[in-house]
Structure 1
Amino acid sequence: MIIGIDIGGTFTDGVLQDNGAVYRAKTLTTPADLGDGVVAVCRLLAEKADVSIHDFLGRVERLTLGTTAVTNILTSQVGRRVGMLTTAGFEDELGISKGRRLNRDGWVVRPPELVARRDIRGIAERIDRDGNVLRELDVDEVLSTATELVRERGVEVLTVSYLWSHINPVHEELTERALHQAFPDVPVMCGSMLNPIQRGYERTTFAALNAYTSGAFSGLDHLEGRLRDLGLRGRLLVINCAGGAMTLGSARATPLWLVHSGPAAGVAAGAVVATEHRAPAAIACDMGGTSFDVALISDGAVTRTVRGEVFGTLTSLAHVDVQSIGAGGGSVAWIDSLGVLRLGPKSAGASPGPACYGRGGSDATITDALLVLGYIDPQAFLGGSMKLDERAAREACSRIGESLGLTTEEVAWGIRSIALNNMAEATRATVANRGQDPRTHAIISYGGCGSLFTAEIAKAIGIKRVIVPEVASVFSAYGAASSAVRRERTIAVGKSIPFDVPWLAKKASRAISEVKKELTADGVQEEDRSIAVEADLRFRRQVSDLTIAFPDPDVTPESVDHVVEEFTREYVRRYGRGALLLDATIDMVSLRVVGTGRQPVALPNVAEGTGEPAVSDPSSSRPMQLERLGPRTDVPVFVVEDLEPGARIEGPACLDGADTTIWVPAGATARMGSQRTLLLDVEAGND
């Protein structure tokens, strides 16, 4: 048995693979203790396997968890108190934050403060850009400064980031050893050891973010203890933000890797689905209860970035490039100071939840609007296990309507229209920012609420096909169950091409050996491993990098030439030939070794059937509001589980599944595939 679990803002999802069959479960997230939701999902999956929870967990080979533990700390800003040692004269680097400012509800604000300025101390040491020591480190100064931070300031974790430490880490290494000996109970995190990259600010924020979120593991350790007590004997893994799995021990050293782990797992699974359905260019669209997440898939590979913003802080984190907006099923509608209807980013979450959940919520949300408009059957939500209160949803929309002079249906239509427009714009922008044409892409639609919108998002931006996997409502959990172990090592290069390739090859070989050791420690057998090498390149004096893969793990003059050619080709594809800097110097900023370990995967159910097109009869109909004004339309409703492979349905139609609903608008066609994947063509009759 293999289990994947994703803890979302509203629902906790689970997927079980048992002897080739795939089962799924969904329950409300428990904000007070996220472990309660995980245990509840395990109990539901045990019921499907028809065994007790102890026998069930005892048979589980691997449980992989997409966790919000780190994300919650950053969102609520309740991280550990961090003390920082840095090169004297650079104590204000974090506060200046490269001059970046954020827009928060119309106010221009600084990025979140990870380390209070009074807890940052300068150390009189200096190494130059070539790695030469200009001023030796005084260990006594380090210890006296750290003693003040720990004993008097009460810091809980120390981080160290000296200038040019990625070239020569000797001072950071000396500092770490001294601090560990003096304060064995205080964690110490060094920038050069966690992520030795060229950019000093991003290297510093990476260390600070890891220190700030290091308290997340108390909750994860508690959860592991609960699962072990309930009978879990197999491996417990967590999903990282690059879409791979890692052990709790590995993640403990760099907890920041767990930020956005759930969305990353979904995108990784989306890449597999895109390959299976011959969609080399695809957009992963995930609409859950809290947010709408968008990511690109190119040639069957997830689009990643090595530098980006994590909750307002610019840092050097290699992660799946996911763009998020506040447009989930629980996103709250409100009226701004100009009397305009707005939506999100605030979410009702699981507690109190949308008004229709009957758990104390009173604000109108997207889910309430969909219920009022007839897109959701209140008696069939979560397969009928959770009844929705349509009256409460109407009252929530009506209260907004009283202020705007609109009817309940007009408010609900407005909420849905704003959500649809925001999601279409986010999807279009994500593709455009990568220099790609959305019309050449397919949409991979998942999340409990996603398929009520993705067909119309596709229409809005010129996409012809939407792919809805059978496990779409729990797709991130499915991705967790199917994920490979992933380990990375980064090497700072900082050289212009051409350079001494044997020097780099030696460093790469050492990093490959280290990654292989880490995979061994993670329990990955040698025959299940694969090693890839990639480089971050840019034109001289530019600030943005492009990541290009080497043809094989061997770093040779020929492979470096290949990388340069691919960099130029990708630069032209993304920015246009007119932007190409002819004869300009190309810098290799860093090299990255990526090791992956294959794991047993959660295979999709394969249904029997001819696959020949067949017209299906609806099981019922539902009155739905298909336009802002005018009467409702009786729309045919089909039960997804009753559709056979080859079944073909013309829109408008609703397809009600056990845990989601798929909306097929007029002019679109849905066809059931052999793996029970629904293929939606937004132009009728288009194959």
Structure 2
Amino acid sequence: MTILDTEHGTQPPGSTCIGVDVGGTFTDAILSDGTTVWRAKAPSTPGDLGAGVLDACERVAERAGTTLDALLPSVARFGLGTTAVTNAIASRTGRRLGLVTTQGFEDLVPMARAMRTHVDGWLTTPDSLVDRERIRGVRERVDRTGTVLTALDPADVVAEVQWLVDHHQIEGLTVSFLWSCVNDAHESAAVAAVRERFPDLPLTSGAELLPVVKEFERTQFALLNAYTGGALDGVDTLAAELAARGLRVSPLLVHSGGGSISVAEGRNVPATMAESGPAAGVIAAQAICAATGVSNAVTGDVGGTSFDVSFISDGVASRRSTGELMGIWTALPMIDINSIGTGGGSIGWVDSLNILRVGPRSAGANPGPACYGRGGSEPTVTDALVVLGYIDPAQFLGGTMTLDSDAAMAACETLAGQLGMSAVEAAWGIWEVAKSSMTRALRARFAEQGVDQREFSLITMGGCGALSSAEIAHELGLRGVVVPELASVLSAFGAATSDVRRERSRAVSVLLPDGSDVLAQTAKELADEVRADLAADEVPDEDVTIGLIADVRFFRQHYELQIPWDGGLDEDGQAALVKRFTSEYVSRYGSGAVSTGAPVELVTLRAYGLGATVRASLAQYDDGPGGVPEPSGERLIHLTRGSEPTSVPTVVGDTLQPGHRLTGPAVIDAADTTIWIPETFTATVDSYRNLHLEAAK
């Protein structure tokens, strides 16, 4: 067996990499020593992030035949994807904030662009990160060209902040003025005055953090950053514990952009960690695509609490700069991930219209699904799968955790009583609703992307993903399904493989073509800033790669498309950029949406820097005997609603070798997940021990 790194060569001999992903139910860990990849899961520990991480690391070290204390001194890379920031946002337990903004625009954030969210069938205004009474306006005004219309008196800002401190005991402050992305002189002066008067008050500046057009999104991002400022305290404690136990390198945190940053930088911009785990999974899926020759893929990550979807086109993950994040519309440079509240721990319930729903509320890690035997009593997707026979209670997590099938049945019986049906029918309903929700989410994303789904494969990940992926792919007409060998811990693998990534942005708002040197000069300045950021992260300059992204739109339209660009910004380069933008626009919205001769505007220019690091790699195995693997037994499974259970052959995942081929129906009991192969599907094992599922023609 060899270890193949699809981008940067083989893993250095003797190096050890650990990747960890903290999920809502389980904390996953992978360990690579350059020859073998081990994996393990441990229950997540809400409120004490480090305990679950250390438990998972100790388990994976034990599987490698050593101890964590003996292993840590040899670790060259420790990557961590964490839900700490996500949890602070989802539970709305961040800091009590104040906001100082331009007078007359105090209602900008509360109005929330007239956004509404669905709550039990009703449309409601989304929760705000800052209450209206804690928003204060000051006299100042800059126009869209950067011209000062009304000068700022910094003393006015200090007086307003003093009022917020005295009357509302704020724990953090955000300053964000109108058009500060074009001229930040007022905002910089306000920030300096506040920091001098209140040196211990955490302060975030919108223009300093993300100087992009759209004051609402810019302000929201600054608020989000201030709101989550204390969310990484547990990471600091964990880093100190790891160092005390022998870790010689600083942990790297995966951020929403799919790259890694230091813990110190994570403290500076905690909001960028909001989609840490899902982003790590997409980065790992890119490696799967490169290894298996899949160019176009959609990822479906089914964890304990959510189903996360992202696109990979021509081997590169789609990105966005604005979007919704747990009910908050904000500017956040990130991998384009869409999430719904459907996962293995999602709870089945009956709404006020007597309709069965699944999620978004989840049993989480504590108490977890009823079958975990930790006090949970409400039926979850996992409980339903136990009742239906898809999950073997005795083989859960490779037999290291035995599930309580009686508790799962009792939970489903409670729900069945509300619906007037049997427990098995209720379990079937939970599973069907969950699959339908995931299918609808994928169908909607394909429609938004404007791509032909027949050209895409589904890369499934997460502990519960491989039980539904084949049927979802068949419903949508996808090319097929790839179930990676590391599917259940793929986000942890991504945490051990992502390069250090830093990004800088600047609003330019110029019509193309532009004859000045503004774009070229801005690109150079941004690249220099990114190089300095990576140097501060101790990345050698020879390991740095710089790239550009242009946010482009037709003039006066509201939203932009992000266009990766490496073709230069001279006259010919700008013309080529316009051509690529138009082509992308047509592919998404159709040629009828393009007006001939419409001006094209480059709104924001972004520079990103990648710093190559030691990284774990995919394991490639020698060819196996081929043929059909020997079944390990049989399991009774309810394949259709209202029918008697059917006996289905089972296969132990560890026995699968490259070249093996299975025909459904069949169940594969892997060490940390269960894979369902429906009757019309065939599964083949490739040289990385990934499963490729295809429907019969």
Short-chain TM bin? over 0.9
2:599 corresponds, among 559, 572, 585, to 585
Residues 643-680 of structure 1: per-residue CA shift (max 9 Å, x gap): 22100000000011111111000110111111111111
Alpha-carbon shift at residue 551 of structure 1 (Å)? 2.2
Helix, strand or coil: the match of 1:80? coil
Question: Are the equivalent residues in 1 in contact too, given 2:34–2:616 (CA < 8 A)?
Answer: no
Q: Find 1:56's aligned residue among 40, 63, 71.
A: 71
Residue 164 of structure 2 is matched in structure 1 by: 149
RMSD: 1.4
Q: Confirm or deny: 8 A CA contact 1:237 1:248 kept in the other structure.
A: yes
**Partner of 1:555 in structure 2?**
569
What pairs with 1:519-668 in structure 2 (closer than 5 Å)? 519-552=534-567, 554-610=568-624, 613-668=626-681
**Alignment partners' CA distance in 2, 1:104 and 1:316:** 24
2:686 corresponding residue in structure 1: 673
Residue 324 of structure 1 corresponds to which residue in structure 2?
Answer: 339
Once the two structures are superposed, what CA deviation does each residue of 1:533-576 show, in whole Å capped at 9, x if it has no partner? 01011111211211112224x43222221111100111111111
Paired amino acid for 1:608: D
Name the structure 2 match of 1:96. Answer: 111
**Are the aligned partners of 2:155 and 2:193 in contact in 1 as well (CA < 8 Å)?**
no
How far did residue 43 of structure 1 move?
Answer: 1.0
Q: CA deviation at 1:152?
A: 4.0
**Structure 2 unmatched ranges of 5 or more:** 1-15
> What is the CA distance between 1:613 and its match in structure 2?
4.4
User: Is the CA contact (8 Å cut-off) linking 2:173 and 2:204 kept in structure 1?
Assistant: yes
Distance 1:210 1:634, change over 3 A: same
* Contact in 1 for aligned 2:31/2:61 (Cα 8 Å): no
Give the deviation of 1:443 after TM superposition: 0.6
- Whether contact under 8 Å (1:550, 1:562) holds in the other structure is no
SS in structure 2 at match of 1:605: strand
Q: 1:78 aligns with which of 62, 87, 93?
A: 93
In the alignment, structure 1 segments of 5+ residues that lack a partner are none
Are 1:478 and 2:493 counterparts? yes
Q: CA deviation at 1:18?
A: 1.1
Once the two structures are TM-superposed, the CA of residue 351 in structure 1 deviates from its matched residue by: 0.8
Determine if the alignment matches structure 1 residue 354 to structure 2 residue 354.
Answer: no
CA contact (8 A) 2:547 2:609 kept: yes
Q: Deviations over 1:258-285 (max 9, x none)?
A: 0011001101111221222222111101
TM-superposed deviation, 1:376 = 0.8
Paired position in structure 2 for 1:285: 300
Amino acid of the structure 1 residue aligned with 2:685 = M
Query: In 2, distance between residues paired with 1:16 and 1:302?
Result: 25
Q: Give the deviation of 1:405 after TM superposition.
A: 2.5
Note if contact 1:21-1:604 (Cα within 8 Å) is conserved in structure 2: no
After TM superposition, where is structure 1 displaced by more than 4 Å over at least 4 residues in a row? Answer: none
Of stretches 320-329 and 482-491 in structure 1, the one that deviates more from structure 2 is 320-329
- One-letter amino acid of the counterpart of residue 654, structure 1: V
Are 1:345 and 2:356 matched, yes or no? Answer: no
Q: Do 1:369 and 1:397's aligned partners in 2 also have CA atoms closer than 8 Å?
A: yes
Q: 2:521 matched to 1:506? A: yes
For 1:164 and 1:482, how far apart are their aligned partners in 2?
Answer: 38
Which residue pairs with 1:4 in the alignment? 19
- Give the Cα–Cα distance (whole angstroms) in 1 for the partners of residues 24 and 178 of structure 2: 39
SS class of match (2:421): coil
The answer as to whether partners of 2:346 and 2:361 remain within 8 angstroms in 1 is: yes
Does the CA contact (< 8 Å) of 1:549 and 1:563 recur in 2?
no
Matching residue of 2:5: none
The alpha-carbon deviation at position 106 of structure 1 amounts to 2.4
Mapped to 2, the partners of 1:90 and 1:338 lie a distance apart of 40
Letter aligned with residue 596 of structure 1: L
| Whole-Å separation in 2 of the counterparts to 1:159 and 1:337 | 40
Given the alignment of the two structures, is residue 30 of structure 1 paired with residue 45 of structure 2, yes or no?
yes
For the Cα contact (< 8 Å) 1:64–1:237, is it kept in 2? yes
Whole-Å Cα distance in 2 between the matches of residues 78 and 197 of structure 1? 27
State the number of aligned residues: 682
For the structure 1 residues 116 and 401, does the alpha-carbon distance in structure 2 shift closer, same or farther, using more than 3 Å as the test?
closer
| Aligned residue number for residue 365 of structure 1 | 380
> Take 1:244 and 1:194, find their aligned partners in 2: how far apart are those partners?
18
**Could you say what secondary structure the match of 2:608 adopts?**
strand
Shift of 1:522: 1.2
Tell me by how many angstroms 1:19 deviates: 2.7
CA-CA distance at 1:457 after TM superposition: 0.5
Q: 2:82 aligns with which of 37, 53, 67?
A: 67
One-letter identity of the residue aligned with 2:425: E
The CA deviation string for residues 405-435 of structure 1, in whole angstroms up to 9 with x for no partner, is: 3222211111111111111111111111100
Q: TM-score w.r.t. structure 2 length?
A: 0.96
After TM superposition, the score normalised by the length of structure 1 is 0.97
